[in-house]
Amino acid sequence: MRYYIHTFGCQMNVADSERLASALEKLGYQMAERPEQADVLVVNTCVVRQSAEEKAYGWLHMVRPLKERRPDRVVAVMGCLVGVKGNEGLRRAFPWVDVFMPPADPRPLVEFLARRVDEGRAVADLERMVRYALQDEELVLPLSERGRKVTAYVPVVHGCSFGCTFCIIPYRRGPERSRPVGQVVAEVRALAEQGVREVTLLGQIVDRYGKDIPDGPDLADLLRAVHEVEGIQRIRFLTSHPSFMTDRIIEAVAELPKVCEHIEIPVQAGNDEVLARMRRGYTVADYKRVVEKIRRRIPNASIATDIIVGFCGETEEQFMDTYRLVEELEFDVVHIAKYSPRPGTVAWRTMADDVPPEEKERRFRMLEELYERISRRKNEALIGQTVEILVEDRNEKGKWFGRTRNNKLVFFEDGDRDWRGQLVSVRITSAGPWSLQGVPVEPSLEPGRSPR
C-alpha cells in the first residue's frame, strides 16, 4: 500500500503533511514517487491567495481520472480549503473525494483507512490502531526523511485569533491554540533523534504563543525549553507580529546560542491609513521602534518582512510610503504579494478591491527591484568573509547548500564528502541577490562562534 501527498502553501502545511505521512506509515503505507502509483492520494491545501486555491482545484481535477480507473483508490483533501467547520460546497463540487480533513488534523483519514484495514476488527482494536498512529511523540517524520532531513518545522500555535481584515486564516484554521511546552519539547527531541539539527517553531502569530493559556508560558519560555534539547543545533521561529514582539523574546534571541538571529516580522504596509484598514494594530512609527529595538540588542540580526501591494484604497502616495520604508529599513528579506480578496474576510465584505491589476503588478515590480538592489549590495559585501552554515542537502546541480544563522542561502561544491547535517565554515567567493557561493574552509569554525 502506498500514499502520495501534494502540499500547497506555508510551512505550517509542510509540517502538517509530514505528520500525516508519519501516521500513514504507522498504518503500513509507504511513500509513492508519483500519484498514479499511490493507493491514497492527499492534497494539502492553501487559500491565503486565489492562485493557491486554484492550484488545489486543478490538482483535484487531475486526480479524478486516477480515481475513476481505480474506484478503491482513496482521495483526500486537507487544510485551509476544508477549514475547521467543514466545506459542504467542496463536497458537492468534488464527489470523487472520499475524505475531508481540517488543517493539522489527520484523524479523519487515519480513521477511514483503519476501518479499511480490517473491517471485522472490534471497535476497541480500531481505536487502539488510530491512537497509536496519532501519538504525538512519534508523529514526526516519515521514514523516507528520517536520518536525511536536517531542518524541520514544529507547529507551536495552531489557528489565529487576531483578525486582520485581509486574512482568511482565522476562519479556516480556527482560534489560536498554543501547544503545551512539554509536548513541543517532546516533538523536538524526537526530531533530534531522527537526525534533525534545526527546528523552526511555527505559528500564524508565533510571538502570541501562550497568550491563550492563563498565566501560561510565553515564546521566550518555549525558546529556553527547546534550547535544552540535545542534538538540536539551531532554532528559528516565525511568523512574528510587531505588536507582540516583547523585550523578553528579543532578550531570549540575544542570549541563547542556538536561537538564530533572524526575525520575520511582517509590516504589510508603510502607511498608517492602510495599516488601519488592514486592522494591524500598530503604526509605522510603532513598527520602526520594534525594528530599532531588535537591531540595538542584536546588532547582526536579519529582519524579514511581508508586504501586500494594492490593498483596498491604497493610493500611489500610500504605496510610495511603503517603498520608502523598505528603502529606509533595508530589510534582509522581503516577501511581496499582490492583494487578492478572499471570500469571507472583512475586507471582502466591506471594502472595494479598487486598485487595478496592472497597477498592483507595477507596484509589485517596483518593490521587487528595490529589494533585489538592497539584497545584492548586502550579499556582495560578504565576499571574502567566512560564514558558518548548516548544510541541508545537495541541489539538482550537485552543489551543497545551507543557510547562515541569519538565513543567507549559501552554495558550495565538494563532491568527495558528505556534508549533510554538518556545520561548515564557507569563505564567500561570489554573490548574487538571492544567494552566496563559496568554498569550505578547514577547520570549521566552532559552532555558534562564526560571523553572523
Distance (Å, rounded) from C-alpha 111 to C-alpha 54? 28
Residues 206 and 325 in one domain: no
Residues 151 and 245 in one domain: yes
Residue 446 lies in a domain: no
Strands laid side by side in the 177-178 sheet: 177-178, 151-158, 198-203, 234-238
Q: Is the distance from CB of 319 to CB of 355 less than 8 angstroms? A: no
Residue 447 lies in a domain: no
Residues 253 and 273 in one domain: no
Q: Is the distance from CB of 315 to CB of 356 less than 8 angstroms? A: no
Residues 107 and 55 in one domain: yes
**What angle, rounded to 10 degrees, do the helices at 219-227 and 247-255 form?**
20
CA–CA distance from 187 to each of 21, 66, 297, 341 (Å)?
15, 35, 30, 36
Range of the domain at 13: 2-133
Distance (Å, rounded) from C-alpha 206 to C-alpha 183? 16
Residue 254 lies in a domain: yes
Distance (Å, rounded) from C-alpha 229 to C-alpha 258? 10
Strands (DSSP E) found in 272-349: 302-309, 333-338
Which helix (H) or strand (E) segment holds residue 281: the answer is: none
**SS3 of residue 199 by DSSP:** strand
Q: Is 312 annotated as a binding residue?
A: no
Residues 232 and 320 in one domain: no
Residues 188 and 247 in one domain: yes
Residues 366 and 280 in one domain: yes
Q: Is the distance from CB of 140 to CB of 54 less than 8 angstroms? A: no
Residue 181 lies in a domain: yes
365: cell is: 515590480
Residue 218 gets the label, from left (phi > 0), alpha (psi -120 to 50) or beta, of beta
366: cell is: 517596483
> Cα 206 vs. chain centroid, distance in angstroms?
11
Distance (Å, rounded) from C-alpha 162 to C-alpha 176? 9
Residue 452 lies in a domain: no
Radius of gyration of the chain (CA): 23
Residues 223 and 289 in one domain: no
216-231 per-residue burial string, b: 16 or more CB within 10 A, e: under 16? ebbbbbbbeebbebee
Residue 392: give its domain's CATH number: 2.40.50.140
- Does 140 have pLDDT greater than 80? no
Q: Is the distance from CB of 304 to CB of 331 less than 8 angstroms? A: yes
CA 24, 26, 30, 31 torsion: positive or negative? positive
Longest pairwise C-alpha distance within the chain? 68
Q: Is 164 annotated as a binding residue?
A: yes
Residue 82: give its domain's CATH number: 3.40.50.12160
Q: Is the distance from CB of 149 to CB of 196 less than 8 angstroms? A: yes
- What pLDDT is attached to residue 128? 62
Task: Please give the average per-residue pLDDT across 396-400, as a whole number.
Answer: 90
Residues 321 and 414 in one domain: no
DSSP state of 233: -
Residues 154 and 210 in one domain: yes
Distance (Å, rounded) from C-alpha 160 to C-alpha 172? 9
- What pLDDT is attached to residue 206? 97
Residue 319: what residue type? F
Residue 239: give its domain's CATH number: 3.30.750.210
Q: Is 260 annotated as a binding residue?
A: no
According to DSSP, the residues that pair with 177 across neighbouring strands are: 158
pLDDT band (50, 70, 90) for residue 104: confident
Residue 338: give its domain's CATH number: 3.30.750.200
Residue 162 lies in a domain: yes
Report the chain's mean pLDDT, rounded to a whole number.
91
Last residue of a domain, one of 331, 346, 380: 380
pLDDT band (50, 70, 90) for residue 138: low
Query: Per-residue pLDDT tens for 201-245?
Result: 999 999 999 999 888 899 999 999 999 999 999 999 999 999 999
pTM of the predicted structure, to 2 decimals: 0.89
Residue 138 lies in a domain: no
Residues 355 and 430 in one domain: no
Last residue of a domain, one of 357, 380, 403: 380
Task: Please give the average per-residue pLDDT across 372-383, as a whole number.
Answer: 97
Query: Per-residue pLDDT tens for 45-93?
Result: 998 888 888 999 999 999 999 999 999 999 999 999 998 877 788 889 9
- Does 407 have pLDDT greater than 70? yes
Distance (Å, rounded) from C-alpha 274 to C-alpha 126? 53
Number of domains in the chain: 4
Residue 141 lies in a domain: no
Query: Per-residue pLDDT tens for 314-347?
Result: 999 999 999 999 999 999 999 999 999 999 999 9
Query: Per-residue pLDDT tens for 276-303?
Result: 999 999 999 999 999 999 999 999 999 9
Last residue of a domain, one of 78, 101, 133: 133
DSSP state of 33: S
Residues 413 and 360 in one domain: no
